A and B are shown apart, each in its own frame.
Chain A
Amino acid sequence: MNPMPFDVQLLNALSALLLLLAFAMLSQRRIVTLVSLLAVQGVLLLAATLLLAWRTGETHLYFSAALTLGLKVIFLPWVLYRLIRRLGVYWDSEPLINIPGTMLIGLLIVVFAFGLAQPISELASTATRSAIGIAVAVILLSFLMMITRRKAMSQVVGFLSMENGLFFGAMSATYGMPMIVELGVALDVLVAMLVLGVFFFQIREQFDSLDLHHLESLKEKR
């Protein structure tokens, strides 16, 4: 047993929880709970950022923590909750692959991601380099979630969780992206969210449901 410093242990625990949360999202059928999980993911990210900022003394990490708090913990979940209530979509229909199957695929993805991140984390010199694998896994798991879900709402949650994974990856590899990039990404996500919100209404108006399978047929069946 090599005793690690306590803050590194805490960071590791946080990243392990992020991984667990990605699986919880993958297995969740209720959309409201999915959004709550996204908010919790934001909180974990915030905690990890603050801890890292305190540990390294990098001031720009405090800014990105504030950005995380405002955008990912408060604003986006709030918008999503409102959208859910306005659209009345509370449940996702059965995903394309059943849930235990998805989880097993998810496990394979995690193994793949850990293997993928191994050489990168050897190059990195940060204290949190071992968490890069987890960040890659979170990104790929969110991707899997976007693939297997049918409803537009859960796909958007998958998209946002993927962004969270990217943010966590950047943080653990190089202690965060430059401020300008971070602001740009945050703005992008914000705008994407707003545009998608409008899209939801358009899709529903056209097809009377948010199931994206209707988008696959090219011609209208009239």
Chain B
Amino acid sequence: MAWLTQILEVLAALVAAPLFLGWVNKCRAWLQNRSAPSLLQPYRGIRKLFFKDAVIAENASPLFRLAPYVVFGAMVLAAAIIPSMGTRLPFSSAADAIALVGLLATARVFQSLAAMDVGTAFGSLGARREMMIGFLAEPALLMVIFVASLISATTALPVISERLAVQSVGLYPSLAFTAVAFTMVLLAENARIPVDNPATHLELTMIHEAMLLEYSARHLALMEWAAALKLFNYACIGFALFVPWGVSTTATGPAGLLFAIPLLAAKLAVAGVGLALIETLSAKLRVFRAPEFLATAFLLAVLGLLVRLLLGS
């Protein structure tokens, strides 16, 4: 039963991640009065790239070829740890929430190293900016996780999710603050609009795209799939911490899993609309304002922690 949940969850992440990205793009297009691309557009892009011949720069080291597989593998592993459908996951005992942050950091380091590897100016520019954002976003993410683990007295993500789901309903300002902080971290880490624009190829402002410039064909496909998976994973971490209701636990059994799948789809649909709304309403920040944005996220998370400690709410 546990293994079934585990396999199902990873497969669902692999399949649904590009779909989620497509849904966000579609909502954005609707909100901006553009004609929307098909929901399946990310799949088409990935498929097209898999059938092309890879071109690799002459001076690229093995690291450059290895990086897409490492990044993709880290994202799949992360998807296996995060309780998106059920909390009985054999994999999740291997890593708690802090190790999960480390896993995401590993992916970031490899991506940045690969971007610097070929030695083009844009690659290293993107890598440096990514590392800057990463080092500011990571403490904020850790703080968010600390608040949740302070409330539930554990750092294992499935257990946190389970305990938060059963606690008494009430006003929790600490969780509200951390939810806002988490949303900000999500936007920054996934290269969404206030920090980076995923749709632009304007050289001087891009961060994520600048790192992928040297990749082509299957490597690029894996990188883009990994980016979609990252967004999906972050959304699922958010669900696990802030809307944990409805995931299957030991108490609910196989029927719970049947119930959890459509519920996850509904949560993702709502989250996609919310994400598109935020991205449409906000303007891209200058790169030098990004620390301020992330400092605010960190501040909110710490305030959540302090409020929890002082008021117990």
**Known contacts A4-B313, A110-B306, A114-B309; A20 and B177 CB within 8 A of each other:** yes
A15 at the interface (CB under 8 A from B): yes
Q: With the chains together, A130 CA to B311 CA distance in Å?
A: 6
Chain A residues, Cβ within 8 Å of B291: 100
Query: Quick one: which of B253-311 are within 8 Å of A by CB?
Result: 291-292, 295-296, 299-300, 302-303, 306-307, 309-311
Chain A residues, Cβ within 8 Å of B303: 16, 19-20, 23, 107, 110
Chain A residues, Cβ within 8 Å of B177: 16, 20
B33 at the interface (CB under 8 A from A): no
**Which B-chain residue is minimally distant from A102 (CB atoms)?**
B295
A187 at the interface (CB under 8 A from B): no
Q: Are B168 and A16 in contact (CB under 8 A)?
A: no
How many residues belonging to B are interface residues under a CB distance threshold of 8 Å? 22
Q: Are B295 and A104 in contact (CB under 8 A)?
A: yes
Selected contact of B311 from candidates A6, A15, A20, CB within 8 Å? A15
Chain B residues, Cβ within 8 Å of A1: 167-168
| Chief secondary structure at chain B's binding surface | helix
Q: Are B295 and A103 in contact (CB under 8 A)?
A: yes
Q: Are B299 and A103 in contact (CB under 8 A)?
A: yes
Q: Are A13 and B295 in contact (CB under 8 A)?
A: no
**Known contacts A103-B295, A103-B296, A110-B303; A134 and B310 CB within 8 A of each other:** yes
Q: With the chains together, A192 CA to B88 CA distance in Å?
A: 63
List 17 A-B residue pairs with CB atoms under 8 Å apart, sorted by A's residue number.
A3-B168, A4-B170, A6-B170, A6-B171, A12-B307, A13-B173, A16-B303, A16-B307, A16-B313, A103-B296, A104-B295, A104-B299, A107-B303, A111-B306, A114-B310, A133-B310, A134-B311
Starting from the known contacts A19-B307, A20-B177, 15 additional A-B residue pairs (CB-CB under 8 Å) come to: A1-B168, A12-B307, A16-B174, A16-B177, A16-B303, A20-B303, A99-B292, A100-B291, A103-B295, A103-B296, A107-B303, A114-B309, A130-B311, A130-B312, A134-B310
Hey, which bits of chain B sit against chain A, CB under 8 A? Answer: 167-168, 170-171, 173-174, 177, 291-292, 295-296, 299-300, 302-303, 306-307, 309-313
